[in-house]
């Protein structure tokens, strides 16, 4: 099988598994929605304030939601031995790891992007800012899955893995948050969002090139 | 070898244990001497600043702590990389021995920064780029230590910690610049440290001496922690048994 075929087969498997357990996907999505609706309740309904905060709040919630779903990435495959079999296959780990990360993004990142405009409207974002919000999430959420995969791989099978993964991964998410929320901010204030989006894109490229190798090293450490 | 010393000999925990034991008093002594000298320069010889009066004197603790907190993270990542590359147990032990000292110095620099900020800026904390990135550095240290603490198997703990230290050190510049741009765009803090008048030579000397003191202290503390880690890991080995018997 060619490399692409392997990625495709793995992707189909992961998506099928996700579709059989739709609850997991929906839980993360609703978590995202609930967290964003907590902010207006916390800081008050002033439309001006909410419009200022909107982009940042949606982005913080996206970070938390992405982190929440990281446990799923390798845990069940680790528990039933699939992961060991994958490691033993002649396919380079980087290939199937990229497939798994891609699947994780499709299952947990894409739904967030689809819902985000609705949440943005609730915060009174302008139409242009809504577009930028979607675009920034489109560039940023794959980075969350990529970096998160390192944390998920390192904490495989550890007690308190969920909390630990947040401690490891959230500081590394900060640049994505800054560029993502900054892009929305730039669109709202009329400063323009191109710079932030370009930076986000470069972070994505960098993460895409480097993290699969780190994840492969992390999995080897955790499985041996 | 360039200097004729067999460095590999000291990559064995048993020989390193003895060497570190001999070196620790010297480093602690140097740290104490330099600290006394630095504090004398800082608190007695250095003149009072005409703008910030005596409040500025906290920089003699604050700046060395901040420098060392960043430097130690890099050194930690260096040992981690060395450990992953050459599979030397001692390198991993040095990395984990450095982390608590680095975290402590990060905390000290944040705390003293707050003490300096209150009289000078009128606020304990502002979301300045440097403060924020120092805070994130503190989180990175915490993540490293939490990960190592959560893993029972020492081999896995070593390697997992090393990997996260390396990932962290790659990210540190990205985080630093993103925070800087974030800060300049938001214009949150109206005060800037770069606008401060340039420093008198005597103050700079005091700061450098204190930085050296912090450096010596960090080495001594890391070495003694490494010794404890070695004892803990090698408690069943023959040389430890022998050593304990000799001492009894």
B149 in contact with chain A, both atoms CB, cutoff 8 A: no
Give the closest-approach CA distance of B88 to chain A in angstroms: 15
What confidence score (pLDDT) does residue B190 get? Answer: 42
pLDDT at A162 over 60: yes
> At A4, is the pLDDT very low, low, confident or very high (cuts 50, 70, 90)?
confident
> Which stretches of chain B score pLDDT less than 70?
1-7, 50-52, 184-199
pLDDT at position B210:
92
Residue A212 distance to chain B (closest CA, Å)? 12
**Chain A residues lying within 8 Å of B147, measured CB to CB:** 154-155, 164, 167-168
Centre a 10 Å sphere on the Cβ of residue B117 and count the other Cβ atoms it contains: 20
From CA A157, how far away is CA B150, in angstroms rounded? Answer: 10
Residue of A nearest to B143 (CA): A168
Predicted local confidence at residue B50, as pLDDT = 66
Domain extent at residue A193: 3-223
Is A179–B150 a contact, with Cβ atoms under 8 angstroms apart? no
Instruction: Enter the tokens of residue A180.
Output: 């993502």
The minimum CA-CA distance between B175 and chain A, rounded to whole Å, is 6
Tokens of B87: 């599979």
Which residue in this structure is represented by tokens 């202290």?
B217
3-state secondary structure of B187: coil
For residue B231, give how far its alpha carbon lies from the nearest alpha carbon of chain A (Å). Answer: 24
CA distance A119 to A101: 26
CA B48, CA B51: separation in Å to the nearest integer? 9
Helix axes B201-233, B13-40, angle to 10 degrees: 160
Q: What is the pLDDT of residue B194?
A: 53
Hunting for tokens 């004892």 — which residue is that?
A: B231
pLDDT digits (tens, 9 = 90+) for A187-203: 888 888 888 899 999 99
What's the confidence (pLDDT) of residue A90? 86
Q: Which helix (H) or strand (E) holds B177?
A: helix B154-186
| Inter-chain CB proximity A210 and B146 less than 8 Å | no
What is the chain A residue with the closest CA to B142?
A: A167
Closest residue to B143, CB basis, from A167, A185, A191 = A167
Is pLDDT above 80 for A16? yes
Residue A92 φ/ψ, nearest 5 degrees:
-60, 135
- Tell me, yes or no, if B103 comes closer than 8 A to chain A by beta carbon: no
A147: closest chain B residue by CA: B167
pTM for the model stands at 0.87
Beta-carbon contacts of A215 under 8 Å, excluding residues fewer than 6 positions away, are: A97, A101, A149, A150, A153
Nearest chain A residue to B139, by CA: A171
pLDDT in tens, A59-108: 999 999 998 888 888 888 888 888 888 888 888 889 889 999 999 999 99
Interface contact A221, partner B, CB < 8 A: yes
pLDDT for B7 equals: 67
Q: Give the separation between CA A137 and CA A143, rounded to whole angstroms.
A: 10
A132 pLDDT exceeds 80? Answer: yes
* B175 has a chain A CB within 8 A of its CB: yes
Rounded alpha-carbon distances, angstroms, from residue A42 to A30, A37, A55, B48:
18, 9, 16, 46
Q: How many domains does chain A have?
A: 1
Q: Pick the residue with more confidence: A58 or B183?
A: A58
Cα–Cα distance, A133 to A54 (Å, whole number)? 10
């Amino acid at each position: 099988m060619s490399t692409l075929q392997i990625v495709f087969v793995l992707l189909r498997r992961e998506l099928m598994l996700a579709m059989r357990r739709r609850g997991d996907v929906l839980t993360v999505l609703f978590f995202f929605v609930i967290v964003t609706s907590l902010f207006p309740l916390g800081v008050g309904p002033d439309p001006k304030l909410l419009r200022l905060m909107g982009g940042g709040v949606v982005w913080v919630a996206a970070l938390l939601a992405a982190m929440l779903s990281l446990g799923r990435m390798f845990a069940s495959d680790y528990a039933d031995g699939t992961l060991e079999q994958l490691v033993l296959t002649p396919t380079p780990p980087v290939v199937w790891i990229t497939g798994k990360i891609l699947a994780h993004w499709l299952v947990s990142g894409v739904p967030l992007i689809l819902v985000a405009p609705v949440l943005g409207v609730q915060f009174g974002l302008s139409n242009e800012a809504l577009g930028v919000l979607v675009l920034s999430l489109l560039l940023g959420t794959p980075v969350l899955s990529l970096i998160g995969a390192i944390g998920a791989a390192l904490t495989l099978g550890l007690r308190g893995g969920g909390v630990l993964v947040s401690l490891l991964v959230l500081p590394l998410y900060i640049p994505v948050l800054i560029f993502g929320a900054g892009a929305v901010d730039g669109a709202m204030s009329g400063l323009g969002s191109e710079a932030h989006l370009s930076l986000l894109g470069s972070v994505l490229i960098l993460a895409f090139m480097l993290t699969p190798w780190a994840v492969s090293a992390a999995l080897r450490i955790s499985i041996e | 070898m360039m200097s004729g010393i067999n460095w590999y000999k000291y990559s064995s925990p048993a020989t390193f244990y003895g060497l570190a034991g001999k070196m620790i008093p010297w480093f602690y002594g140097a740290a104490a001497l330099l600290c006394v000298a630095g504090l004398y320069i800082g608190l007695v010889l250095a003149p009072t600043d005409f703008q910030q009066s005596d409040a500025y004197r906290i920089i003699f603790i604050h700046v060395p702590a901040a420098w060392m907190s960043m430097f130690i993270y890099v050194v930690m990542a260096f040992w981690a990389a060395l450990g992953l590359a050459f599979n030397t147990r001692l390198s991993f032990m040095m990395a984990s021995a450095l982390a608590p000292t680095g975290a402590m110095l990060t905390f000290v620099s944040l705390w003293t920064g707050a003490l300096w900020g209150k009289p000078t800026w009128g606020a304990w904390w502002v979301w300045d780029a440097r403060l924020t990135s120092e805070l994130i550095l503190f989180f990175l240290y915490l993540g490293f230590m939490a990960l190592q603490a959560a893993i029972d198997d020492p081999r896995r703990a070593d390697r997992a910690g090393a990997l996260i230290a390396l990932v962290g050190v790659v990210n540190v510049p990205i985080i630093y610049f993103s925070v800087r741009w974030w800060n300049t765009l938001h214009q949150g803090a109206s005060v800037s440290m770069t606008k401060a008048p340039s420093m008198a030579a005597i103050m700079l000397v005091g700061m450098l001496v204190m930085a050296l003191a912090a450096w010596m202290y960090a080495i001594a503390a890391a070495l003694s922690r490494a010794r404890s880690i070695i004892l803990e890991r090698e408690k069943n080995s023959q040389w430890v048994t022998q050593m304990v018997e000799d001492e009894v």
